[in-house]
Amino acid sequence: MELLHIKDISVTVEGKQILSNIDLSIGKGKVFVLFGPNGSGKSTLMKSIVGISGYNIISGDIIFEGRSLLNLSIDERAKFGIAMMFQHPPKVRGVKLSQLARMLCNDKKKIEKYIELLNLGYLFDRDLNVDFSGGEMKRAELLQIILMRPKLILLDEPESGVDIENISIMGKVLDEYLKESGASCFVISHTGYIIEYVKATDGCLMLDGNLYCVGNPYKLFETIKEYGYEKCKECDIRHA
């Protein structure tokens, strides 16, 4: 069953075309990995899905559970069950992680469980992301996402700035949530660490705002490591 269908979209930012005719679909319960070099348009695609302003979809459509998202606000998309972990999450002065957690979830036990699992206790009464370290920000983002209980999780480089032990902690928490909820996940990864912890089902490569090589994410990642992004594009084999 399909959850999200990105239907042939092209996206401009400040008048410049960043994405060209992107078409992909994410099934229910699937983990779809997006690889690609810096500046290729990966974050732009995720921001277009959640509806960040300034990312203009000039053609195509984004369908979530059969409905178009195009005229919906970020909040409305979130209410439908779409949550995103940003590559660079905003700092929120005056709002503590604890306040946000309680707003997102009224199950105290659950909050305590994830605070413990993600080792966030010592950050609980700090202003959100203000002077958090890179890894602390990612763990706090994952906490918020899990408490929202989304149907689709978008993760923009969840490993970036996170040490090996914390990647393992985050990977296990994410894996448990995906298994227990049946949610889907769309994840951008440069290092491939995260797919050692969650079972990835599909992968593709983005280069210069175009998609290539949709197929087995583990084989695709090995091919990229061995031959590089450009070679991978040329061969365009389907990694069945």
What is the DSSP pairing of strand 210-215 with strand 202-207?
Answer: antiparallel
- Tell me, what amino acid is at 124? F
| Least Cβ distance, residue 179 to ligand ATP (angstroms) | 28
Enumerate residues 49-108 that contact ligand ATP by CB under 6 A.
54, 87
Tell me whether residue 53 or residue 106 sits nearer to Mg ion (CB atom).
Answer: 53
Q: Burial, 79: exposed, middle or buried (Cβ in 10 Å; 0-12, 13-18, 19+)?
A: exposed
Q: Is 15 in the site for ligand ATP (CB under 6 A)?
A: no
What does the longest C-alpha to C-alpha distance in the chain come to? 52
What, of ligand ATP, Mg ion, none, does residue 40 touch, CB below 5 to 8 Å by kind?
Answer: ligand ATP
Q: What track of x and - describes contact with ligand ATP for positions 25 through 44 (by CB under 6 A)? A: -----------x-xxxxxxx
Region of 10-18, 88-96, 127-135, 138-146 interacting with ligand ATP (CB under 6 A)? 10-18
Q: Is 43 in the site for Mg ion (CB under 5 A)?
A: yes
Region of 53-61, 79-87, 129-137, 223-231 interacting with Mg ion (CB under 5 A)? 79-87
List residues binding Mg ion (CB under 5 A).
43, 87
